[in-house]
Structure formats: structure tokens, C-alpha cells
Amino acid sequence: MNEKVSAQNRRLATLVVLHQIAAQHLDPCPPMSTIRTWCNREKVPRFKSNPTAPRGGGTVFYSVPHFEKLLRSRVLPGKLALV
């Protein structure tokens, strides 16, 4: 996945893709664990591929528009600390 991520065309993305989106805006890019913490703390909507599974449930997808709003309003202005 070396190509640039076009966030405008995505509504849902995995944590790996969110990391690539963050790398386009932040240098150095925080680790994926920090991005996951940000998403959980700021309540970015997430969806599981199998929400009825008792444990796990497969891949978790996050809302790209909400993550981009998080980057613009909280991370880029420096209002959200690195974990």
C-alpha cells in the first residue's frame, strides 16, 4: 500500500489506513496504538465486520470523516497530546 490514500473517497477505513492518513498530515506520525487511543477517547464511530460475534468480531472499521475532523480540530492545533 504505497499509494496515497484518498480519504475523500472513503467513508470507513481500518486502523492501518487511518495511520496512512495521519502520516500525510503529521511528521513524525504517531504509532497506531496512539491513533487507536485518540479514536477511542474522542469516540470516533467504529463498525465491526461481524458485530454479532461474541468476541472479536473481525476487522474494525473507523469513520474517516470523523477521524479527519479529529485531526483538524484536536490534533493539528495541538489540543490532543500524544500517548
What is the side-by-side strand order in the sheet with 60-63?
12-13, 60-63, 46-48
Please check whether residue 33 is in contact with residue 19, taking contact to mean a CB–CB distance below 8 angstroms: no
Cα 68 from chain centroid (whole Å): 8
pLDDT at res. 81: 63
What's the pLDDT band for 1 if we cut at 50, 70, 90? Answer: very low
Q: How far apart (Å, rounded) are the C-alpha atoms in residues 75 and 57? A: 29
**pTM of the complete model:** 0.76
Domain ranges of the chain: 10-75
Q: How far apart (Å, rounded) are the C-alpha atoms in residues 63 and 69? A: 10
3-state SS, residue 62: strand
Q: Over the stretch 16-52, which tens digit does the pLDDT of each residue have?
A: 999 999 998 888 889 999 999 999 999 999 988 887 7
